[in-house]
Structure 1
Amino acid sequence: MNNHRSNTGKKKPSSRFNMVRKKYTGRKIQSTNKYKLAFRTLEKLLPRVFNLHKPKPLSLGIREDIINLNLGISNRTIRSALHFYCNSYQYLGSIREGVSRIDTSGKPTSAVISKEEQAAAYERCQQVYKTIKENNKRKKMLQK
């Protein structure tokens, strides 16, 4: 007589419902995007400056400042990381008139002026338009 009742009279759940879920170990799949990998490297070394969750406009000429810090990173990696960060929609959205730019230590240096804001928006729109145009050409070539 196995009725799975405890002393309180309540029915115990069957053992098949007591399965323990496997916990997610938190391992992330490594990206193969070279720009993203370069950004992650620079993000670890300069967390105050590079943050995609709360991006801030970078000071003009920051690439030379990062090179002068002698972090042991190649110039190509720095360029790739800056390419990834500065072309992200989060960063481009942070470029607004009056917002202060930051240097390599995370301290404010100067403010964004309206011409820079307009130039950044125009540049991003041109890149998106170019990408769409290239994709449309590829689709036409594949359809033929």
Structure 2
Amino acid sequence: MVWSDYDAWPIGSLSFSQTFFSDDYETIQHKLYAILLLCVGFVKVFRRMGRARHPAWGAPLPVLALFGGLMLFLHSHSAHPSAAAIAIHHSVMGTTAILAGMCKLADNPFQTLALSGDRVTGARSSWGLAWSARILLIGVLLLIYAE
């Protein structure tokens, strides 16, 4: 959220309202991605702490993975010199995120993890393993991403 755009809030010369209510859709999308990631992080922390026990709290992660993946197909860096390479990378990441969200939803979306201490009980399904592999792949794609 901080380092995505150097001229935008909070580190740049643009104010909060200029950043979020301008015509610069690229900056707005970067900030929305950061907000999505923060929401997913908070939900996962609350679930891990046992404060969000209802099975419905398992839905935000795969739903936001699907939504974020779809948003990557609409996201472009049109003025950038290597916009074509960035578009391909965004398409690969978007496809991977959509597949990850679908795998997580197929893994039994209404079952919460039974937590006992720090251990997670229960066996992993093949859908759960596919979810994990795709999330790791997104991490690798982000590590090699360069504009």
TM-score bracket for the superposition, by shorter chain length? 0.3 to 0.5
Larger Rg over CA atoms: 1
